[in-house]
Structure 1
Amino acid sequence: MFRRGVRAELEAAGAGVVRVLAEAADVDEAVRAVAEHAPDVVLLDVHLPGGGGAAVMSRSPGTSARFLALSVSDAADDVIGTIRGGARGYVTKTITGAELVAAIRRVAEGDAVFSPRLAGFVLDAFAGSIVPAAVDEDLDRLTEREREVMRLIARGYAYKEVAKELFISIKTVETHMSSVLRKLQLSSRHELARWASDRRLL
């Protein structure tokens, strides 16, 4: 559903933005699409199934494409890891259609694009004041979708708000939340919020 909305927004922007518009549901499809279409800009889901956006970049050596990350996550580790992987920008899914089109145009022209908050993470990281997190065995137990649900719940989102943000049902949110609490051996969303805060995942 989200990809359809993005496609409609880009197509409405006209031929000055879109020559070939291909979609990919996972890393393997994305790598093939980059190789086949040689795009100027790849709009990249940070948590794309099959290894995430970083895997697409690492498996596309030699491409002239510029990568712009688009994610529900604005966690420092995600932003920093994606930029270290080669992305030229990082925007969140709260961005408007017009802002997204403008961001794609800027990246195509060679600019780097971040919201002010995310730009601060990048500057701090490369100045040495943020050290990317070491491997977290607890976090690694969670699937990419469970991590998205976990971050939103830990920030205080209601199940209904999480469902709307991620384009999934409330029942699916509840299922993911139960799995997150079980895997992390936590008993409530309040404990989850403290757990996520201690790991700077918010």
Structure 2
Amino acid sequence: MTQHAQPRTTRIVLVDDHHLFRSGVRAELTALADSAPYRLDIVGEAERVESAAEVVLAQRPDVVLLDVHLPGGNGHGGADVIRATTGATTEAGRPVRFLALSVSDAAEDVIAVIRAGARGYVTKTISAEDLLTAIGRVADGDAVFSPRLAGFVLDAFGAAAGEVAEIDEELDRLSAREREVMRLIARGYQYKEVAKELFISVKTVETHVSSVLRKLQLSSRHELTAWAMGRRLL
């Protein structure tokens, strides 16, 4: 009998100081669960900086949906949560990723939370379907922004924005699985260890590495490791 691969489970923590909003997001995402390309598991909620940091460190979710304006901390809201949980990883060893979800579309809010380490920023006008997609992309390591907010980030980071765009273009050439392989290699894993971590064969790891070398026009594992580390694929 053929065994089909099980869809991944994406574990989510909701952080917002309005209980009614958290309930609404939970209900909307749960209603879409059957049609989602991945399994959803909302593993925790919080309404202020301190409790959010505690939940993130305890639950180690894949993605934190994070409002930028929260009580507590040092008065910097969502940015304080990100800083308080620096280095947090999922059970699989991947970084916990943050997606800002806020009513605010002010440039200073966007820039502050991205500088702190969020992988994306979307406003609360987003549809439930688009939010579901954004969560999946952030879990895979992509950066996601509501269209008009991307310009704030490009302007704020000046010349470095061109480098970010180039890096994103290179990353876009890689599949989600290739990126997972690169992250582990950047962390010093050997091919056998990568295979064990991702439940694939060593041959498949070698195939992914060869594909990435070809796509990025690199010639050795040393160059590949340097490339991955330079893009902080940790």
State the TM bucket, normalised to the shorter chain. Answer: 0.5 to 0.7
- Is the radius of gyration larger for structure 1 or structure 2? 2
1:169-199 deviations in Å (ceiling 9; x for gaps):
xxxxxxxxxxxxxxxxxxxxxxxxxxxxxxx
Matched-pair contact (CA < 8 Å) for 2:67–2:102: yes
Task: Say whether 1:28 aligns with 2:28.
Answer: no
Name the CA shift for 1:12/1:58 in 2 (closer, same or farther; >3 Å): same
- SS at 2:150 equivalent: helix
| Counterpart pick for 2:62 among 40, 49, 66 | 40
Task: Return the structure number with greater strand share.
Answer: 2
Following the alignment from structure 2 to structure 1, what is the Cα–Cα distance between the partners of residues 100 and 117? 10
Unaligned runs of 5+ in 2: 1-19, 89-94, 161-234
Task: Say whether 1:9 aligns with 2:28.
Answer: yes
Matched-pair contact (CA < 8 Å) for 2:26–2:42: no
**Percentage of pairs with the same residue:** 63
Task: Say whether 1:112 aligns with 2:143.
Answer: yes
Name the CA shift for 1:28/1:96 in 2 (closer, same or farther; >3 Å): same
Matched-pair contact (CA < 8 Å) for 2:119–2:138: yes
Following the alignment from structure 1 to structure 2, what is the Cα–Cα distance between the partners of residues 95 and 66? 19
Name the aligned partner's letter for residue 87 of structure 2.
G
Following the alignment from structure 2 to structure 1, what is the Cα–Cα distance between the partners of residues 126 and 48? 22
1:134-173 superposed matches below 5 A: none
- Which sits farther off after the overlay, 89-98 or 13-22? 13-22
Name the aligned partner's letter for residue 59 of structure 2.
H
1:79-120 deviations in Å (ceiling 9; x for gaps):
011100100000011111111111101100111000121000
- SS at 1:19 equivalent: strand
Name the aligned partner's letter for residue 10 of structure 1.
L
User: Would you say how many aligned residue pairs link Structure 1 and Structure 2?
Assistant: 129
Name the CA shift for 1:30/1:104 in 2 (closer, same or farther; >3 Å): same
Following the alignment from structure 1 to structure 2, what is the Cα–Cα distance between the partners of residues 30 and 125? 27
- Which sits farther off after the overlay, 55-64 or 20-29? 20-29
Matching residue of 1:49: 71
Name the aligned partner's letter for residue 116 of structure 1.
P
Runs of 4+ in 1 over 3 A off after TM superposition: none
Question: Per-residue deviation at 1:17?
Answer: 3.9
Q: Give RMSD over aligned pairs.
A: 1.6
Following the alignment from structure 1 to structure 2, what is the Cα–Cα distance between the partners of residues 22 and 14? 17
1:120-131 superposed matches below 5 A: 120-127=151-158
Matching residue of 2:114: 83
Q: Which has the higher contact order (CA 8 A, sep 6+)?
A: 1
Name the aligned partner's letter for residue 101 of structure 1.
L
Matched-pair contact (CA < 8 Å) for 1:68–1:104: yes
Following the alignment from structure 2 to structure 1, what is the Cα–Cα distance between the partners of residues 123 and 87? 27
1:43-97 deviations in Å (ceiling 9; x for gaps):
0010022130001001002112100001111011110111001000000111111
Task: Say whether 1:58 aligns with 2:89.
Answer: no
Task: Say whether 1:101 aligns with 2:116.
Answer: no
